[in-house]
Structure 1
Amino acid sequence: MMVEKTDTLVVGAGQSGIAMSEHLTQMGVPHLVLERKRVAERWRSERWDSLVANGPAWHDRFPGLEFDDIAPDTFPPKERMARYFEDYASMIKAPIRTNVEVQHVRRLDGRQGFLATTSQGMFEARRIVVATGPFQVPFFPPIVPEDSGIQQIHSSAYKNPEQLAQGAVLVVGGGASGSQIAEELHRAGRHVYLSIGEHYRPPRSYRGRDYVWWLGVLGKWDEIKINAKKKHVAFAVSGYDGGKTIDFRRLGNMGITVLGMTESYADGVLTIADDLVRNLGEGDRAYLDVLEEADAYVARNGIDLPPEPDAWTIQPDPACVTDPIRALDLKAAGITTIVWATGFKFDFSWLEVDAFHPDGTPFHKRGISAEQGVYFLGLPELTNRASSFIYGCWYDAKYIATHIGVQRNYDAYQSA
């Protein structure tokens, strides 16, 4: 069987793979990008119809291309984001092969490099860049059995309210996905229950500047001078409906029943944790901390930004907070569907290399893995909080491409 050879094989043609291709091209590194479906496929088919980017157009992009048809402070819809990456890939002439699924990668025996088995043949490469991103396999806890009579879907399979069975809906997950889906379902006339856990709730904007700007000027992308936030908690801010802070009291006051974290299920009844008030309080503290830091930054630097006293107002507790539900009888509540907005887990089963911790997570430093020649890109906290965001992965890719260039120099060295 014929084997196609290249220096670096990039797996995935989403934002990370495209960013990697740009920097590899600039470094003069021969490479190929393999994508199992289409460019930016997750934006196209693996999200709900009304999804928008979680950052404004001026920020959620690569440095080399602006949006030419969207105002800078607009949150681009998913179709526009997919076209953006497609346009970018064309602009940089990225060597992308679509509809090629990488099925297995292993290290070559007795020589440098790796052999990749794909749906379109074999590829040999000196290096592998895993750019499959953080959203690989939908995850939700096996709490409610499949034979419960309740329709259960993951948020990645949710498209619109018409898709769901008639009746009330329980959405589990308090991040951007869960809260946006819950609000959309409420606006469609559904009775909605929203189960949330720990979350980090920043302001969407303050004093005329979006939170991504405050993240930058306050040093929160890098978190060098401040304690890192808890990992694996929901990031409660959204670009939905023009962009807004995810205020769970506001959702409760508009008619959505907000619950604590879903714990267990027995005989048609869900047990709900007694953590709602505590988690809302922690979210408030995070929100107010940002406002306080922002005001201090404005004063210290003499910046002319209009004060926003109303932003300091905390909405009154709705009834679902003052008298929280601890046991939810699904049938009595009329719940026919559960949407699990509980995130994703990694799947690197196709990658047979020594680059993982015992729990299956990548063993790396700034994307350079423990297995020489294997790199990871686009993972959460790869370098900092920005690493899984659009602009952040571009800078991470530049660092990895530079490392690859250095390694190629070592490979090319011959003693006099």
Structure 2
Amino acid sequence: MSATSQTHGSDHYSVIIVGGGQAGLSMSYCLQRAGIDHLVLEAKTVTHTWREQRWDAFCLVTPNWQCALPGHPYAGNDPHGFMKRDEIVEYLDGFVRMVDAPVREHTSVQRVTRREGGGFHVSTSSGDFTADQVVVASGGYHTPIVPRMAERLPASIRQIQSADYRNPQALPEGAVMVVGSGQSGAQIAEDLHLAGRKVYLAVGQAPRCARFYRGRDVVDWLADMQYYDMAVGEHPLREGVRDNTNHYVTGRDGGRDIDLRKFASEGMELFGALEDYQYGMLRFAPNLRENLDDADATYNRINAGIDKHIARHDIEAPPASVYEPVWTPAEERTALDLSRANIGAIVWCIGFRPDFGWLDAPVFNGKGYPGHQRGVTPVEGLYFLGLPWLHTWGSGRFSGIARDAEYLAARIRERSGQDALAA
């Protein structure tokens, strides 16, 4: 135990970690290796989101070899496969056991404030604590986004958010409107479509990518091209990349593309972005064609980058190809009668907003996102971990969290040493 912990008593820790998901546990692993005392505070149970907020057919969209939590790499016999939900939970359970973090579950953090003279005061549902440093590892997906128009929809229509979707059988009879075509929306729409449900899909601006190209998983090519090592400051969009929607693709049944045009040719009905609801009618923007074209352009652009890599390094591979649309909308339909379409349920898949209202620190921008450099904020002793593109593409995923946690552990150790000298 550090000198500061001995000075302040049993409710004081050198570091308090807020959040017991893979980010918080990764931080605990690194702090244990550095010999720094700490406490993990978790509002529910460790890694609960993987058990409670994933549908039955959920699987990874990145290959298993990218599961590289610190000290706990994927050790199965299918590195290029895609773990299903229960396999992911089993992998995480092994990580939980290995880390054996000092954690208090069912303890929600209500307020974090800075203390005079340095450090932080942490108020929780289980009492108050103090800490020299705080790591916020609660992720950035807190509040489901549901538009206010949802309040005006008929009570007969069941509305759920993507985190609450489980399977097609759990929804009422009738057609299903899926709003949003990011990773969750596209995969849930596919899940319903494969089950034979009538699906209407409001297509947004999410890009897509190929699952396999020129004989390999696209992720393998991008890893060779060092895309996953690119820091946010090196990305062409700089910090703007953090606002990007993830590409839709799936690892289901061994992995494949998700082609919304193919679904449309099989009976799924596609619309542009949902804009409003009035007098029994859903209203859509006339941008379906544009959104599909833009998604395909990204698909082809990624593949073209792989083509250049193959040519540059004289790699033997199957021939290049360019995606050609298998279906094109005949017109831009901007309205849908809910009753005539027999819609019994709507699944909102338009993302989440961050909610750090409990953290009293001047580090947030107008969108509620913290300002930081690789997780280190302008407030001394306050850090973030596990956010998308915190440092690289993998920062919010199993693949990059170890590097970020190790970096922050080094910064925390440096500051702990400074505090000890000052004391």
2:343 is the alignment partner of 1:331: no
Report the counterpart of residue 317 of structure 1 in structure 2. 327
8 A contact 1:41–1:82 mirrored in 2: no
2:252 is the alignment partner of 1:243: no
Shift of 1:396: 1.3
Match of 1:132 among 131, 135, 138: 138
Partner Cα distance (2:215, 2:126) in 1? 51
2:73 is the alignment partner of 1:66: yes
The Cα offsets for residues 101-140 of structure 1, whole Å up to 9 and x where unpaired, read as 22222222x3321121222222211111010112212112
Shift of 1:299: 2.0
Task: Give 3-state SS (helix, strand or coil) of 1:264's partner.
Answer: strand
Task: Give 3-state SS (helix, strand or coil) of 1:390's partner.
Answer: coil
8 A contact 1:59–1:391 mirrored in 2: yes
Shift of 1:70: 4.8
Deviates more, 1:241-250 or 1:65-74: 65-74
**Do the aligned partners of residues 324 and 241 (structure 1) sit closer, same or farther apart at CA in structure 2, a change above 3 Å counting?**
farther
Report the counterpart of residue 15 of structure 2 in structure 1. 8
TM-score, normalization by structure 2: 0.91
8 A contact 2:201–2:271 mirrored in 1: yes
Deviates more, 1:138-147 or 1:43-52: 138-147
Alpha carbon RMSD of aligned pairs, Å? 2.1
Report the counterpart of residue 260 of structure 1 in structure 2. 272
8 A contact 2:59–2:82 mirrored in 1: yes
The Cα offsets for residues 197-230 of structure 1, whole Å up to 9 and x where unpaired, read as 1122121121232222233233433277763386
Report the counterpart of residue 106 of structure 1 in structure 2. 113
2:239 is the alignment partner of 1:227: no
The letter for the 2-side match of 1:398 is: E
8 A contact 2:210–2:218 mirrored in 1: yes
8 A contact 2:68–2:400 mirrored in 1: no
Shift of 1:251: 1.6
Partner Cα distance (2:73, 2:422) in 1? 44
TM-score, normalization by structure 1: 0.92
The letter for the 2-side match of 1:207 is: R
Report the counterpart of residue 148 of structure 2 in structure 1. 142
Partner Cα distance (1:390, 1:197) in 2? 26
Shift of 1:358: 3.8
Shift of 1:281: 1.4
Partner Cα distance (2:318, 2:234) in 1? 25
8 A contact 1:174–1:234 mirrored in 2: no
Report the counterpart of residue 397 of structure 2 in structure 1. 389
Partner Cα distance (1:3, 1:357) in 2? 35
Shift of 1:373: 1.3
8 A contact 1:70–1:76 mirrored in 2: no
The letter for the 1-side match of 2:100 is: K
The Cα offsets for residues 158-207 of structure 1, whole Å up to 9 and x where unpaired, read as 11112211100000111121111111112222110111111221211212
Task: Give 3-state SS (helix, strand or coil) of 2:68's partner.
Answer: coil
Partner Cα distance (1:270, 1:369) in 2? 43
8 A contact 1:176–1:237 mirrored in 2: yes
Task: Give 3-state SS (helix, strand or coil) of 2:11's partner.
Answer: strand
Partner Cα distance (2:330, 2:401) in 1? 42
**1:147-226 alignment runs, 5 A limit:** 147-149=153-155, 150-221=157-228, 222=230
**Do the aligned partners of residues 138 and 387 (structure 1) sit closer, same or farther apart at CA in structure 2, a change above 3 Å counting?**
same
Partner Cα distance (2:140, 2:252) in 1? 21
8 A contact 2:395–2:401 mirrored in 1: yes
Match of 2:302 among 290, 294, 311: 290
Match of 2:122 among 113, 116, 120: 116
**Do the aligned partners of residues 196 and 77 (structure 1) sit closer, same or farther apart at CA in structure 2, a change above 3 Å counting?**
same
8 A contact 2:29–2:70 mirrored in 1: no
The Cα offsets for residues 308-340 of structure 1, whole Å up to 9 and x where unpaired, read as 55x53424215xx22332111111111121100
Instruction: State the number of aligned residues.
Output: 409
The Cα offsets for residues 53-105 of structure 1, whole Å up to 9 and x where unpaired, read as 22111113325323344511121112222222221132133222222222222
**Do the aligned partners of residues 23 and 225 (structure 1) sit closer, same or farther apart at CA in structure 2, a change above 3 Å counting?**
closer
Partner Cα distance (2:118, 2:124) in 1? 20
Structure 2: runs of 5+ lacking an equivalent: 1-8
Task: Give 3-state SS (helix, strand or coil) of 2:286's partner.
Answer: coil
8 A contact 1:53–1:60 mirrored in 2: no
Report the counterpart of residue 355 of structure 2 in structure 1. 347
Report the counterpart of residue 269 of structure 1 in structure 2. 281
The letter for the 2-side match of 1:284 is: D
Report the counterpart of residue 58 of structure 2 in structure 1. 51
Deviates more, 1:4-13 or 1:210-219: 210-219
Partner Cα distance (1:10, 1:401) in 2? 12
8 A contact 2:69–2:401 mirrored in 1: no
Structure 1: runs of 5+ lacking an equivalent: none
Task: Give 3-state SS (helix, strand or coil) of 2:395's partner.
Answer: coil
Partner Cα distance (2:286, 2:25) in 1? 44
The Cα offsets for residues 230-262 of structure 1, whole Å up to 9 and x where unpaired, read as 633342222233222222112212221121111
8 A contact 1:139–1:345 mirrored in 2: yes
**Do the aligned partners of residues 147 and 242 (structure 1) sit closer, same or farther apart at CA in structure 2, a change above 3 Å counting?**
same
Report the counterpart of residue 42 of structure 2 in structure 1. 35
**Do the aligned partners of residues 44 and 270 (structure 1) sit closer, same or farther apart at CA in structure 2, a change above 3 Å counting?**
same
8 A contact 1:201–1:235 mirrored in 2: yes
